[in-house]
Chain A
């Protein structure tokens, strides 16, 4: 058994930078490089796109950039890759990775695809209740786009045991992507909640990439980090007992401190003593953190409780459209002109009978971000942007927002600054609901490909 396993992050979301992943591959001396590329609505958005665009292959649109960037160094070092870039088509993602392996002249590399997460066709028979509102999931039938289960680390471990050098999955819980190599390397059992609690806690620290190395953190004068334009993604040096040091490639920007680690430890956590994942329930409250060197924080004493009998299901539904646009005022009297513009828009929406569930007209710079709680401005603002948005059942209604903002160009207030009208002022809403499915009803399937 290995003493220490080095696991690096390659991405924390779809739009994340590629360069720090390459840095980790080339200079991180990694045993594993793990990619997380999904948000809550990623699967549903991919389903909608696949319906409209038959050329969309259904996996991470940056798969080529990421794999071309890291594969040469990973092949050289023998770094295994685990990635959820498969989205709605892990098989196609695996085939594409095989293509890049062949381009690089790498023969006989085994790539596994993990399927079984998509349950759109049987979600209504497998689930009962919507967690958010207590209604039956059958009420979602008319608007259902996609449903997927959050799988745990077990199928990834199985693929690693079968000799896969690269594992690409559909929906898997984010921390599980990072914990799978720990289970495989250290032989942790899927029911060993003590070790899995530690491993999943470390996975949670890694899943948001730079958010633990100084990203989403800087606040000048209060929380400064060096070279925030040059952040690295984290590396976990994990030991067999599930303790770890979180660190990064030397010479990169950012920082790993008790503060960055604490912020990430509680990120998107509700009850810190009961963080439910498919593999285990993590208790973060027992954690011990220690700064053991520059950009090195040791994490010990995380706890785990037995996993729940259910898995979470994410259900994406078509819920209408949002129309939004923005225009600007500056100079003397900017706010008074913005206020008149708001009044004009409100009247116009009545005249054109805008049928909206909610309308919001904000002044950017004053109340557009924090809404009603925002204090009154202390001084006259020099610039104000008027930002308007409405949520409607139909695209036609939502389009009225952009059309009425168009009208503000020549029929609006004096000194109105406007953007060139563009096509993306109306967007589709995919609402995400949650439910639970009995664990034993979900059977993952794994396919193997070879370069």
Chain B
């Protein structure tokens, strides 16, 4: 079934200079392989087209069922130079919650939140 990421994983963003890191953490270990397969750095970057300007690097942390996306050029030149109201990019991690992915029906009962 097709579901939005918000039912599968939770996310948080952090800032360092002009780079934002956005972690994507599976609610259930069973979701993790599907995240690894479908939420590639290319598709992640595509989701943020026009907003993340530099390269995106993905780090896998299977022990935590988590992916960490390191996004360069995401903070308008850096926190102090940025003209964005959210100059730390604290809210950036919410955008990826709308990413759509395919999850086996059998995992349906493990999905999080109201649908």
Q: Report which A residues bind B (CB closer than 8 A).
A: 40-41, 132, 216-217, 219, 221-223, 259, 262-273, 284-289, 319, 322, 324, 358-360, 362, 364, 368-373, 387, 389-391, 429-432, 434
- A372/B49 in contact, CB under 8 A: yes
Q: How far is the CA of A340 from the CA of B15 in the complex (A)?
A: 34
- A268/B15 in contact, CB under 8 A: yes
Q: How far is the CB of B102 from chain A (nearest CB, A)?
A: 20
Contacts of A221 in B (CB 8 A): 113-114
- A362/B21 in contact, CB under 8 A: no
- A431/B12 in contact, CB under 8 A: no
Q: How far is the CA of A219 from the CA of B44 in the complex (A)?
A: 21
In the complex, whether B110 has a CB less than 8 A from a CB of chain A is: no
Secondary structure type dominating chain A contacts? mixed
Contacts of B18 in A (CB 8 A): 132
Interface size grouping (class) on chain B: 35 or more
Q: Other CB < 8 Å A-B pairs besides A272-B61, A319-B80, A372-B49, 18 of them?
A: A216-B12, A221-B114, A265-B64, A266-B61, A268-B16, A270-B16, A270-B21, A271-B70, A286-B63, A324-B83, A359-B83, A372-B51, A373-B49, A373-B51, A389-B83, A429-B81, A431-B80, A432-B80
In the complex, whether B35 has a CB less than 8 A from a CB of chain A is: no
Q: How far is the CB of A297 from chain B (nearest CB, A)?
A: 12
Q: How far is the CA of A391 from the CA of B82 in the complex (A)?
A: 9
- B70/A270 in contact, CB under 8 A: yes
Q: How far is the CB of B12 from chain A (nearest CB, A)?
A: 4
- B61/A284 in contact, CB under 8 A: yes
In the complex, whether B43 has a CB less than 8 A from a CB of chain A is: no
Known A262-B64, A266-B61, A267-B12; judge A373-B95 contact (CB<8 A).
yes
Write the chain B residue with the least CB distance to A368. B85
Q: How far is the CA of A135 from the CA of B16 in the complex (A)?
A: 19
Query: Which B33-86 residues have a C-beta within 8 angstroms of A?
Result: 47-51, 59, 61, 63-64, 66, 68, 70, 78-81, 83-86
Q: How far is the CA of A314 from the CA of B6 in the complex (A)?
A: 36
Q: Report which B residues bind A (CB closer than 8 A).
A: 6, 10, 12, 14-19, 21, 23, 25, 27, 47-51, 59, 61, 63-64, 66, 68, 70, 78-81, 83-86, 90-92, 95, 112-114
Known A262-B25, A288-B63, A432-B78; judge A269-B83 contact (CB<8 A).
no
Known A373-B47, A432-B80; judge A259-B90 contact (CB<8 A).
no
Q: How far is the CA of A369 from the CA of B17 in the complex (A)?
A: 18
- Return the contact of A272 from the options B27, B68, B83, B112 (Cβ within 8 A): B68
- A431/B78 in contact, CB under 8 A: yes
- A322/B83 in contact, CB under 8 A: yes
Q: How far is the CA of A217 from the CA of B50 in the complex (A)?
A: 26
Q: How far is the CB of A308 from chain B (nearest CB, A)?
A: 17
Contacts of B112 in A (CB 8 A): 222
- A360/B84 in contact, CB under 8 A: yes
Contacts of A267 in B (CB 8 A): 12, 14, 21, 23
Contacts of B85 in A (CB 8 A): 362, 364, 368-369, 387
Enumerate 14 A-B pairs (CB-CB under 8 Å) in ascending A order. Answer: A222-B6, A266-B61, A266-B66, A270-B16, A271-B59, A272-B61, A284-B61, A285-B63, A319-B81, A360-B83, A369-B91, A372-B49, A373-B95, A432-B80
Known A272-B59, A373-B47; judge A219-B80 contact (CB<8 A).
no
Write the chain A residue with the least CB distance to B86. A369
Contacts of A259 in B (CB 8 A): 10, 25, 27
- Return the contact of B21 from the options A262, A269, A370, A432 (Cβ within 8 A): A269
Contacts of A272 in B (CB 8 A): 59, 61, 68
- A391/B83 in contact, CB under 8 A: yes
Q: How far is the CA of A432 from the CA of B78 in the complex (A)?
A: 8
Q: How far is the CA of A389 from the CA of B81 in the complex (A)?
A: 11
- B84/A371 in contact, CB under 8 A: yes
Q: How far is the CB of A356 from chain B (nearest CB, A)?
A: 10
Q: How far is the CA of A406 from the CA of B103 in the complex (A)?
A: 53
Write the chain A residue with the least CB distance to B47. A373
Contacts of B86 in A (CB 8 A): 369
